[in-house]
């Protein structure tokens, strides 16, 4: 490790940007964050490194310029973030609020050899983390640590993939980027146990915001599974605004799994930005069960030949939850395949959005892209907006997409009942089975076990008896 | 065991069953034959409790109880089993999970202890072997990606595990090759006992070479028009349904 670098003076142009920014009138909602930035930027890890300061300042300026998106913007047409924008969230501090290892255990993988990085309100908590089992050749730790002590290690990659120019939340995250996980896997290393990144919110009485930032660098020919989970100790109003950048090296096989189980009053906005190199395989499994207002974005850039990208998603929401999944697969090179399956279960007055874009660039011949979105509506008030977007500029490709919206299959209900299973249980079995199709694509047993358990617990909260559609 | 009197049923505003009378005693095997669209499958589904068919007249008593008062699951608890003509695919639910849930629901309803996963697996493996069902099908999703023959055998396998009192097989023989047909027949024959009854709904006489019925009923246009012994099926095979139709018309 290098010693702590001395803070270098802020370059003049950035200072000028800042000044003009501060003079510019921004709306009150955005001003809260500007104030926080003005007051708190020196507290952010690695402050004083010119490149880092500049990235943060540019991002802050961009956020101020963009402001929170409104539903007039096509990308946000069905997700109204006005309630979030109205709340003056404060930065979340490191508060345990009675959190113990024991209380944490229900969120952890049962596999004894797995590693876990725990973040409490966005702050790395080494005491609860377990990294003893990590093999040689893999670094996993706090990003803030790296920014403080060895920022050049991440300079080449950090904030180079997740573009903030057109995205207010990514810009906001980048401006406040501080802590999160940094994982670096040396070339050729195969990890047989998953690495778990656990983000837990310990709710305090004021509305707080965290901006977790993760950077995962998987070297060539590596193999690993990363599991991100977002949970809360108690119910409460808070916002998680997360960005994860994953760089998948040539010929690497990387699985990313995310479980979003935030408080039902919480806002969860997240972007997963994936950069894939030649012959690599990346699989994402995104499971969204919690949160009040949720937006998951996944952008995968297939930047070499022979890449395979798999995006699987499951969202199960009820009550008045809203969950929005935006995915973008960018086929930039020939001979790549992408397979996408998102499934949704919506009950009560819950609403959902699936917006899946596939871009096939002019050179990306022999692309094979499949996209599917299937939805199960359990009540007449549940709503789903599903929108596939294909933008194909090459001529020798195969791209298919399809979306379905339906109810529980009555014939299947009858089949189960005729075998002695009562109607309510039959519906439960079928709904669970619908969801399981996503879970069973995950190859890591400890993960499947945990997700099955959380899914069962979640689905058991769905209305039991009432008129069905 | 089962008595059907003057049963009328309709679906989509169309009368399908127009006065069925049928009595089935314990220990008997009844074959119900008829051309396509005669109402055979409707009869089977009404017995199992499918609610898309509306019963407009008549009654059915099963073991002395009014069958219409029982939900489909209660009928299963009371020992009724129907092998589906078109078994339903259920993605994400494994065959063993489904069948154990079914067996335990029935056992619970009868006040018996539930089987745990280990005990159930032992039973399932043994029965699967007996019906030439590949063991890998046990852990796969119910009927998903099964061949036509595998689906039918899976129905008979379920029947063997659930050990019904009244088994109704709805065209379980259709589309099977001769080896699969023999396996299905063996399964049904193994179930035959003095306290059980079996109703075979079939389009073809061939099945009845392997399962000898006590009675053969010919169903045409929603009515049983002729009842006989197993020879009736053979005669039907030779002379065709048109012959029965004419015989009825001229009677």
Return per-residue pLDDT of chain B as tens, 251 residues. Answer: 999 999 999 999 899 999 999 999 999 999 999 888 899 999 999 999 999 999 999 999 999 999 999 999 999 999 999 999 999 999 999 999 999 999 999 999 999 999 999 999 999 999 888 877 888 889 899 999 998 888 998 999 999 999 999 999 999 988 888 988 988 898 899 899 999 999 999 988 888 989 999 999 999 999 999 899 988 888 888 888 878 777 666 55
Say whether both A334 and A443 belong to one domain. Answer: no
In this predicted structure, the answer to whether residue A3 has a pLDDT above a threshold of 80 is: no
Cβ atoms of A413 and A428 within 8 Å: the answer is no
| C-beta neighbour count of B48 within 10 angstroms | 21
**Number of structural domains in chain A:** 2
Separation CA A242–CA A272 (nearest Å): 8
Last residue of a domain, one of A409, A434, A452: A409
- Provide the pLDDT for residue A18: 53
**A432 shares contact with chain B (CB less than 8 Å):** yes
Q: B172-180 — which CB contacts under 8 Å span 24+ positions?
A: B172/B83, B172/B85, B172/B200, B172/B202, B173/B202, B173/B204, B173/B206, B173/B207, B174/B85, B174/B202, B174/B203, B174/B204, B175/B148, B175/B149, B176/B148, B176/B149, B176/B152, B177/B149, B180/B149, B180/B152, B180/B153
Provide the shortest C-alpha distance from residue A418 to chain B (in Å).
5
Separation CA B102–CA A82 (nearest Å): 48
Say whether both A289 and A434 belong to one domain. Answer: no
- Provide the pLDDT for residue B133: 80
- A65 within domain boundaries: no
Separation CA B245–CA B251 (nearest Å): 10
Burial grade of A5 (CB within 10 A; 0-12, 13-18, 19 or more): middle
Q: Which residues of B touch A (CB under 8 A)?
A: 48-51, 71-73, 75-77, 81-82, 84, 87-88, 90-93, 98-99, 101-103, 105-106, 109, 141, 158, 162
**A436 shares contact with chain B (CB less than 8 Å):** yes
In this predicted structure, the answer to whether residue A8 has a pLDDT above a threshold of 70 is: no
Structural domain boundaries enclosing A375 = 71-82+91-409
Chain B contacts in chain A segment 301-360 (CB below 8 A): none
- A24 within domain boundaries: no
Say whether both A363 and A426 belong to one domain. Answer: no
Say whether both A189 and A209 belong to one domain. Answer: yes
Say whether both A402 and A459 belong to one domain. Answer: no
Q: Would residue A333 be called left, alpha or beta, if left means φ above 0 and alpha means ψ between -120 and 50 degrees?
A: beta
In this predicted structure, the answer to whether residue A370 has a pLDDT above a threshold of 90 is: yes
> Chain B partners of A430 at a C-beta cutoff of 8 Å?
90, 93
* CB burial readout B168-181, b (16+ within 10 A) else e: bbbbbbbebeeebb
Per-residue CA distances from B141 to A285, A444, B90, B241 (Å): 20, 19, 6, 39
- Provide the pLDDT for residue B231: 85
- Provide the pLDDT for residue B137: 86
- Provide the pLDDT for residue B196: 96
Contact B73 A432 (CB under 8 A): no
- Among the partner-chain residues A411, A421, A423, the one whose CB lies closest to the CB of B101 is A421
- Provide the pLDDT for residue A337: 98
Contact A437 B91 (CB under 8 A): yes
- Provide the pLDDT for residue A464: 57
Q: In terms of pLDDT, which residue wins out, B176 or A165?
A: A165
Contact A416 B98 (CB under 8 A): yes
**A413 shares contact with chain B (CB less than 8 Å):** no
Instruction: Please tell me the total number of residues recorded for chain A in this structure.
Output: 469
Q: In terms of pLDDT, which residue wins out, B174 or A146?
A: A146
Domain coordinates in residue numbering, chain B: 2-250
Separation CA B159–CA B172 (nearest Å): 12
A316-342: average pLDDT: 97
In this predicted structure, the answer to whether residue A87 has a pLDDT above a threshold of 60 is: yes
Say whether both A324 and A432 belong to one domain. Answer: no
- Among the partner-chain residues B50, B76, B90, the one whose CB lies closest to the CB of A420 is B76
Output phi, psi for A356, to 5 deg. -115, 115
- A102 within domain boundaries: yes
Last residue of a domain, one of A369, A390, A409: A409
A392-404: average pLDDT: 95
Separation CA A326–CA B119 (nearest Å): 46
Q: What is the pLDDT of residues A96-112, one digit of tens each?
A: 889 999 999 999 998 88
- Among the partner-chain residues A415, A416, A433, the one whose CB lies closest to the CB of B92 is A433
Cβ atoms of A290 and A319 within 8 Å: the answer is no
**A448 shares contact with chain B (CB less than 8 Å):** no
> Chain B partners of A434 at a C-beta cutoff of 8 Å?
91-92
Say whether both A157 and A250 belong to one domain. Answer: yes
- Provide the pLDDT for residue A380: 93
> Chain B partners of A455 at a C-beta cutoff of 8 Å?
none
Q: Where are the alpha helices (DSSP H) in A67-167?
A: 82-86, 101-104, 143-149, 152-155
- Provide the pLDDT for residue B250: 58
- A390 within domain boundaries: yes
Separation CA A230–CA A435 (nearest Å): 19
In this predicted structure, the answer to whether residue A2 has a pLDDT above a threshold of 80 is: no
- A443 within domain boundaries: yes
Please enumerate in sequence order all residues whose Cβ is within 8 A of that of A349, keeping only pairs 6 or more positions apart, or say none. A319, A320, A379, A381, A382, A383
- A56 within domain boundaries: no
Q: What CATH number should be reported for the domain whose range is B2-250?
A: 3.40.50.300
- Provide the pLDDT for residue A461: 78
How far out from the chain centre does Cα A233 lie? 19
Cβ atoms of A342 and A316 within 8 Å: the answer is no
The mean predicted confidence, pLDDT, of chain A is 92
DSSP B112: P
How far out from the chain centre does Cα A375 lie? 21
Say whether both A328 and A309 belong to one domain. Answer: yes
Q: DSSP assignment of A235-249, as one string?
A: ---EEEEEEEEEEE-
- A196 within domain boundaries: yes
Contact B105 A411 (CB under 8 A): no
- A351 within domain boundaries: yes
Say whether both A402 and A322 belong to one domain. Answer: yes
A372-395: average pLDDT: 95
Give ipTM to 2 decimals. 0.95
Contact B105 A425 (CB under 8 A): yes
């Amino acid at each position: 490790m290098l010693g702590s670098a001395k803070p270098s003076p802020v370059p003049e142009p950035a200072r000028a940007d800042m000044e003009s920014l501060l003079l510019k009138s921004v709306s009150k909602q955005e001003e809260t964050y500007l104030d926080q930035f003005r007051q708190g930027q020196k507290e952010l890890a690695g402050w004083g490194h010119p490149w880092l300061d500049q990235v943060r300042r540019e991002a802050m300026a961009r956020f101020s310029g963009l402001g929170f998106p409104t539903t007039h913007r096509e990308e946000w047409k069905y997700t109204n973030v006005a309630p979030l924008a109205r709340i003056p969230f404060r930065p979340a501090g490191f508060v345990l609020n009675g959190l113990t290892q024991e209380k944490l255990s229900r969120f952890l993988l049962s596999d004894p050899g797995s590693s876990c990085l725990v973040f409490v309100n966005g702050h790395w908590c080494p005491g609860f983390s377990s990294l003893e089992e990590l093999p040689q050749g893999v670094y996993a730790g706090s990003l803030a640590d790296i920014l403080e002590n060895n920022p050049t290690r991440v300079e080449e990659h950090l904030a180079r993939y997740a573009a903030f120019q057109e995205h207010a939340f990514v810009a906001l995250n980048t401006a406040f980027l501080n802590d999160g996980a940094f994982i670096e896997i040396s070339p050729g290393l195969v990890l047989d146990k998953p690495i778990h990144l656990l983000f837990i919110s310990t709710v305090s009485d004021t509305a707080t915001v965290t901006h977790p930032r993760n950077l995962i660098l998987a070297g060539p020919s590596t193999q690993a599974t990363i599991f991100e989970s977002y949970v809360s100790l108690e119910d409460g109003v808070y916002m998680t605004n997360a960005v994860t950048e994953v760089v998948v090296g040539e010929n690497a096989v990387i699985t990313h799994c995310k479980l979003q189980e935030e408080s039902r009053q919480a806002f969860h906005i997240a972007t997963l930005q994936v950069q894939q190199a030649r012959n690599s395989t990346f699989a994402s499994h995104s499971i969204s069960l919690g949160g009040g207002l949720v937006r998951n974005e996944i952008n995968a850039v297939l930047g070499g030949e022979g890449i395979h990208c798999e995006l699987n998603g499951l969202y199960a929401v009820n009550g008045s939850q809203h969950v929005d999944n935006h995915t973008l697969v960018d086929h930039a090179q020939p001979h790549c395949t992408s397979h996408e399956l998102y499934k949704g279960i919506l009950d009560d007055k819950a609403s959902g959005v699936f917006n899946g874009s596939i871009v096939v660039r002019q050179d990306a011949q022999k692309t094979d892209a499949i996209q599917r979105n299937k939805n199960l509506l359990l009540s007449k008030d549940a709503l789903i907006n599903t929108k596939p977007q294909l933008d194909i500029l090459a001529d020798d490709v195969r791209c298919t997409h399809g979306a379905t919206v339906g109810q529980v299959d009555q014939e299947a209900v009858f089949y189960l009942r005729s075998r002695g299973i009562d109607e309510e249980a039959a519906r439960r079995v079928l709904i669970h089975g619908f969801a399981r199709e996503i879970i069973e694509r995950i190859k890591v047993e400890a993960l499947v076990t945990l997700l099955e358990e959380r899914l069962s617990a979640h689905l058991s909260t769905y209305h039991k008896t009432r008129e069905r559609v | 065991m089962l008595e059907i009197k003057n049963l009328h049923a309709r679906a989509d505003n169309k009368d399908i069953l127009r006065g069925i009378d049928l009595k089935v005693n314990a220990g008997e095997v009844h074959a119900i034959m008829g051309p396509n669209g005669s109402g055979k499958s409707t009869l089977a589904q009404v017995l199992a409790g499918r609610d898309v068919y509306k019963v407009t007249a008549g009654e059915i008593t099963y073991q002395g109880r009014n069958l219409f008062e029982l939900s489909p699951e209660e009928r299963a608890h009371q020992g009724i089993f129907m092998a589906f003509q078109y078994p339903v695919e259920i993605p994400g639910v494994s065959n063993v999970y489904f069948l154990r849930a079914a067996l335990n629901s029935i056992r619970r309803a009868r006040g018996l202890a539930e089987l745990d996963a280990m005990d159930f697996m032992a039973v399932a493996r043994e029965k699967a072997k007996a019906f030439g069902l590949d063991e890998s099908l046990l852990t796969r999703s119910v009927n998903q990606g099964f061949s036509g023959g595998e689906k039918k055998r899976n129905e008979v396998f379920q029947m063997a595990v659930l050990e019904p009192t009244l088994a109704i097989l709805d065209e379980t023989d259709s589309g099977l090759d001769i080896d699969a047909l023999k396996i299905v027949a063996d399964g049904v024959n193994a179930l035959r006992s003095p306290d059980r009854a079996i109703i075979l709904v079939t389009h073809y006489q061939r099945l009845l070479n392997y399962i000898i019925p006590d009675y053969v009923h010919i169903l045409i246009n929603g009515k049983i028009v002729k009842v006989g012994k197993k020879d009736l099926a053979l005669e039907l095979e030779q002379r065709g349904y048109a012959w029965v139709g004419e015989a009825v018309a001229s009677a």
